[in-house]
Structure 1
């Protein structure tokens, strides 16, 4: 099996444009499903070398599949399990270069090699996570993390209306 191992990433200028597009697209919208659906579509269109982009929502002490772009995915993820559950438990972004080395990784798509998960927290309450997978090892870098966290902060402000 051939595994790609290098990706140069999106530029800061690309990300600045993405953030403006998100704000414009979400202007005057208050339905969380519509917001998250368009946010996942926007990211899927913008990001290269990804195979899954979407959201898991915090419901009844577990993450439940929300709007996404990609192949069918795990429907429920327990607190503290896998990359998504760890992001919720630690309330911190998880940037994973090789998911096979992540303790307790949940393989929803065997093609996924790297992952970034950003928790969504509104008024100090867990809301869910933004989860992005790539078939490329070490696909995500610090620039991706910085701007995907900014992307989530914008979503948090919109969802908090």
Structure 2
């Protein structure tokens, strides 16, 4: 049997563009189908979100206590509030890096009543208690994490401990 050569197939520009368009549509459909399902959150996210919420709450508490305090204590509380706000910012940036989305925001629900007196301003002891709880929480979370995140939360724990043990601890208090 003789094999008769046939002319090579010709590819026109139109066929190449039509094929490329078909591949692009098929690829977009496949990618879209897999991207629609949300991936589970990374396991470190819960620890970071907890640390973020605590940092924001501590910053607000220290700022409120600083507004009610006088003298050097007010300055120290202002510094603590700024440090905790910086912690919140660093943790939020890590959450963004981890998830690719903005860090969660906390929204405080306020109810107004005309008959009730305003709550008393937080005291230094309130701030010390909150910082102690934040330090313990960050220490536990840092032990469960690895790498940069562990270092970040360990640094937060050290700063909180220093704030309540050194900066805010009244002279002569038992340690």
Q: Same fold (TM over 0.5)?
A: no
Relative to its length, the structure with more helix (as a share) is 2
| TM-score under structure 1 length normalisation | 0.30
Relative to its length, the structure with more strand (as a share) is 1
Larger radius of gyration: 2
**Greater length-normalized contact order (CA 8 Å, ≥ 6 residues apart):** 1
